[in-house]
Amino acid sequence: MTTVEQTSSVRPARRAAVTNPGHGDIFTDHMFSMLWSPAEGWHQPEFGQLQNLSIHPGMIGLHYGQVAFEGLKAHRRADGSMVVFRPREHARRFQTSTSRLAMPELPTDIFMSAVNQLVAADQEWLSDHPAHSLYLRPLMFATDESLMLRPSENYRFLLMAFVAGGFFGDRVDTVSVLISRDYCRAIPGGTGNVKVAGNYAPSFVAQRQAQEAGCHQVVWLDAIERRWVEEMGGMNLFFVRSTGTGNEVVTPQLTGSLLPGVTRDALLTMAERLGYRTREERISVEQWRQECAEGTISEVFACGTAAVVTPVGTVRDPAGGDWTVGDGLPGPVTMTLRRTLMDLHHGLARDTEGWLHPV
Ligand code: COI
């Protein structure tokens, strides 16, 4: 089993210096921890300082990737209070992810209690900068000390947090993407529809190719026909199609190899409330290129907890050349949806769906 060690704390000094947090490096002070065993179920809840773990080198989670996680955000509203965006949906998706890896489900009430404790304790880390938030990272991993190829019997759940700025920086700018022709992210029957650690490490070589090609992110195609657009690296994608009767907001259908994003789901609802028609459909990369050339697809954006809503300006396809989306700048539908979502996060719009959980 894992044990905890005390670490020296340099964090108060860092807290004062959080002006440009980036994504994932500025951890807050505390964490929640809980264990699971066959005899005791979930037990030993602990809330305390963020600490290093001491782990056995033969831990199943390290070797065989029995590790699942989530990502959700707490925001500061204009009145100074803190809210968490759709934590129950993240708890449910976490349960789906851990079940897929033969791990126990963490009950929603424990997930919520951990979130409440951590946000209450660490909220002072968050300024009122509109592009900053507290990113909460729930994690579950297998702790058995064994190299037998079998599911672990014991697990640990952790919740930690970091201060997050914009995933692509605090300014809203379009990003460029590379269609990955060498690699794929997920296969039918695989784990593409859940949030498990093993989905992410294999994406790094493709992401590196994107950067070497001068692009910010990779776009994944389906694994069978290698033509249907699935996701961007760790984000869902949306297309804005102009039709004779107005704008349509379209996102790739959840075929089983895409992650069902909580932000994706929220944006589908928001787009409808704003009067756009919404569709979930399969979109091929040829269609993307052709409809951009014809001007039917006028905007494309990525979305996710980390990405929020990020406009895509240019596309590079090693098999089909480069093209620009619209005029290559953030489009009006994208920016309307981004603003609507951020206004909700910051308490500037009414929470008609009950998506905000006050802490
Ligand atoms: C998120 O959007 O929260 C993600 O988990 C994607 C990635 C940054 C890990």
Q: What is the DSSP string of 205-255?
A: HHHHHHHHTT-SEEEEEPTTTS-BEEEETTBEEEEEEEETTEEEEEEE---
CA distance linking residue 205 with residue 196, whole number of Å: 18
pLDDT score of 174: 96
pLDDT tens figures, 190-207: 999 999 999 999 999 999
- Å from CA of 72 to ligand 1 middle: 9
pTM value surpassing 0.90: yes
Neighbour count for residue 9 (Cβ, 10 Å): 12
The helix-helix angle for 87-100 and 262-273 (nearest 10°) equals 140
Q: Poorest-confidence range of 11-25, 77-91, 168-182?
A: 11-25
Query: Is the pLDDT score of 250 beyond 70?
Result: yes
Burial classification of residue 231, based on how many CB atoms lie within 10 Å of its CB (0-12 exposed, 13-18 middle, 19 or more buried): buried
Tell me what percent of the residues of the chain surpass a pLDDT of 70.
Answer: 95
Q: Which residues line ligand 1 (CB under 6 A)?
A: 71, 234, 304-306
ipTM of the complex: 0.95
Pocket test for ligand 1, best of 133, 193, 203, 235 (most atoms within 8 A of CB): 235
Unique residue bearing structure tokens 């699942």: 68
pLDDT score of 10: 44
| H helix intervals, the chain | 11-16, 60-64, 87-100, 108-122, 204-212, 262-273, 285-294, 332-345
CA distance linking residue 145 with residue 125, whole number of Å: 36
Q: Poorest-confidence range of 159-173, 200-214, 329-343?
A: 159-173
Longest CA–CA span in the chain (Å) reads: 63
Length of the chain (residues): 359
Which amino acid residue places its CA nearest to atom 9 of ligand 1? 234
Stretch 307-334: mean pLDDT, rounded?
A: 96
pLDDT score of 169: 87
Pocket test for ligand 1, best of 23, 305, 308, 341 (most atoms within 8 A of CB): 305
Query: Is the pLDDT score of 3 beyond 50?
Result: no
Unique residue bearing structure tokens 């989530």: 70
pLDDT tens figures, 68-94: 999 999 999 999 999 999 999 999 999
Which amino acid residue places its CA nearest to atom 5 of ligand 1? 71
- 15 pLDDT band (50/70/90 cuts)? low
